[in-house]
Amino acid sequence: MPERSTLNPPNTAALRSRSRLRRPRAVVAVAASAAVLLAAVGVLAGCSMIPGLLDGGRVDTVGAVDFTTPLAIPPLAPSTVDADGTRVFELTAQSGSTEFHPGVTTATWGFNGSYLGPTLVAQRGEKVRVDIGNELAEPTSVHWHGMHLPAAMDGGPHQMIEPGDDWSPSWTIDQPAATLWYHPHPHGETEEHVRHGLAGLFYVQDSEEDALPLPHEYGVDDVPLIVQDAQFNSTGELKGTNKGFVGALGNEILVNGTAGPYLDVSTELVRLRLLNASTARTYSFRFSDDRGFDLVASDGGLLEQPAALEHLRLSPGERAEIVVRMLPGETTVLRSVKPDLGIDGDGGAQNGGADSFDVLELRAAAALESVASVPPTLTSIERLDPADAATTRELELDGYAINGESMDMGRIDQVVTLGDTEVWNVVNDMDRPHNFHIHDVQFQIASIDGSPPPPELGGWKDTIYLPPQRRFELVMRFEDYASAEHPFMHHCHLLWHEDLGMMGQFVVVKPGQHVTMTPGENADHEH
């Protein structure tokens, strides 16, 4: 059994003896608990405010970040196993305070601590239960972003947890290994809850991914990176008032809640699991020396083959697993350069398209271990054929509405029949940014404006960036779970847009089953 460390609570030992998320050697001193996780977070280049952003100017922190703080690694969530084999986790949403910058205390929210939450890990085929308590002064929810599960367990706006109450969703995990995440989903309040720190990772593992010679040691060569932009006022308060069309844009970067972070690298290959947990900002990740890297997985799991890239765009909610090679003694900086939003002129600049950030410094040791590799084939993916679709739907995102409709908690916008393959043609009908997320399913991008997607979009996805006026043909299959009364959501994952009503609801029903909520005019389905 692996040696226990102060980073991981003792009752995670059984889980970790079964997985390849081995003991994090290099980060034992960084985070002994969720409270310690952010206790020593550092300072960004000697200032917390970058001039120009408030008056519409551009932000550029490239070369201006003093990487003085070890990257905090979220602790692995403890779990127990019930007599029936159910793996049980506990999460508590709570308020607290965090010192992001020395001597300045910020009011924050977190799960099992003051900011962010632990990483949950479970195997495909396991039944899991998460006992969630709400110690906040207001209702919240916990949505399992990217997870395939019953709608009643999804944690959307219909599964709210009142202050002082608890909720215990349970389901059997049946999807490929992937980097998923959890966050609140209260209707009209999601941006605020996520901005204050309510978010964490959920790793699904399986035997196929576990057998690959990829980096697997949690916090050492397999490193989670929860990337957020933030803006603080002079008293340390997290602000969300500096809104472009996309929503609030910050002027500095936090990674796992750390400002100015560095990562000590002890292996030749490092696997970075990137989550864009920002509420509005889209990133274009690359390295300061323009070195290439291999994209090995996207939202829903492994790609069929690694995609060799030099930069990668991620919009809010998207995840990517990249593997980068280091040489002994060298350093490089992961940064976000001006993202291509598909928008020219001020429309792009006012929504983050002209901003650049230094994100994380990687520091290689004088001698590096050589164990992992990136195999030429990672998995096989069953390709869904749009010709097999029982229904094709057209969804236009315009303003803060989908197909001209704002979110109505009592209206069903789409009715899907269990077992069907469907095509959803999604278009951003504006000259401003949007993106799109579907609950319950992972989808494949069949085409973009009639052409095949690039390799980085060739795997399973649940969230995509939507450049203006481009048609994304998404194909998906609805399996396993049906409910006439519990809906799933589809929405823009720019969280301010979601809060303003850019969201719809769909139910998955058995053939012949009647919908118990009120269907809208777009809810008809064909077979």
Report pLDDT for 53. Answer: 42
Please check whether residues 400 and 314 belong to one and the same domain.
no
Please check whether residues 488 and 415 belong to one and the same domain.
yes
Half-sphere exposure of 336 (CA within 13 A, CB side): 28
- Residue 90 in contact with residue 131, Cβ under 8 Å? yes
CATH number assigned to the domain comprising residue 238: 2.60.40.420
What distance in Å separates the CA atoms of residue 215 and residue 272, rounded to the nearest whole number? 9
- Domain range for 401 is 386-519
> Residue written as tokens 């980068």?
324
Element (H, E) at 91: strand 87-101
Residues 170-228 pLDDT 10s:
999 999 999 999 999 999 999 999 999 999 999 999 999 999 999 999 999 999 999 99
Report pLDDT for 240. Answer: 80
Average pLDDT of 463-484? 97
Give the list of residues 6+ apart from residue 112 with CB closer than 8 angstroms, or none. Answer: 34, 77, 90, 91, 92, 94, 118
N-to-C CA span, the chain: 53
Report pLDDT for 519. Answer: 65
Residues 241-292 pLDDT 10s:
778 899 999 999 999 999 999 999 999 999 999 999 999 999 999 999 999 9
∠ CA 108-154-164 to the nearest 5 degrees? 45
Instruction: Give the domain-ending residue among 317, 334, 369.
Output: 369
Please check whether residues 14 and 163 belong to one and the same domain.
yes
Report if residue 55 sits inside a domain: no
User: According to the 3-state scheme, what is the secondary structure of 458-502?
Assistant: CCCECEEEECECCEEEEEEECCCCCCCCCCEEEECCCHHHHHCCC
Instruction: Give the domain-ending residue among 208, 237, 253.
Output: 208
Query: What band does 345 get if pLDDT is binned at 50, 70 and 90?
Result: confident
Report if residue 50 sits inside a domain: no
Please check whether residues 16 and 153 belong to one and the same domain.
yes
Report pLDDT for 515. Answer: 82
Report if residue 527 sits inside a domain: no
Please check whether residues 364 and 397 belong to one and the same domain.
no
- Report the chain's C-alpha Rg in angstroms: 22
Please check whether residues 481 and 348 belong to one and the same domain.
no
Please check whether residues 193 and 231 belong to one and the same domain.
no
What does residue 270 show for φ and ψ, rounded to 5 degrees? -125, 130
What distance in Å separates the CA atoms of residue 491 and residue 482, rounded to the nearest whole number? 20
What distance in Å separates the CA atoms of residue 416 and residue 422, rounded to the nearest whole number? 8
Report pLDDT for 78. Answer: 98
Report if residue 214 sits inside a domain: no
Report if residue 251 sits inside a domain: yes
- Residue 457 in contact with residue 298, Cβ under 8 Å? yes
What is the identity of the amino acid at 33?
A: S
Report if residue 380 sits inside a domain: no
| CA separation, residue 454 to residues 307, 342, 458 (Å) | 9, 16, 7
Query: What band does 521 get if pLDDT is binned at 50, 70 and 90?
Result: low
Please check whether residues 357 and 480 belong to one and the same domain.
no
User: Does residue 142 register a pLDDT over 60?
Assistant: yes
Report if residue 502 sits inside a domain: yes
Report if residue 255 sits inside a domain: yes
Q: What is the DSSP string of 423-454?
A: EEEEEE-SSS-EEEEESS--BEEEEETTBPPP
Please check whether residues 251 and 334 belong to one and the same domain.
yes
Please check whether residues 283 and 336 belong to one and the same domain.
yes
Total domains present in the chain: 3
- Residue 258 in contact with residue 66, Cβ under 8 Å? no
Within 10 angstroms of residue 107's Cβ, the number of other Cβ atoms is 15
Query: What band does 15 get if pLDDT is binned at 50, 70 and 90?
Result: very low
Average pLDDT of 3-30? 34
Please check whether residues 73 and 204 belong to one and the same domain.
yes
Query: What band does 35 get if pLDDT is binned at 50, 70 and 90?
Result: very low
Instruction: Give the domain-ending residue among 178, 208, 238.
Output: 208
Please check whether residues 18 and 152 belong to one and the same domain.
yes
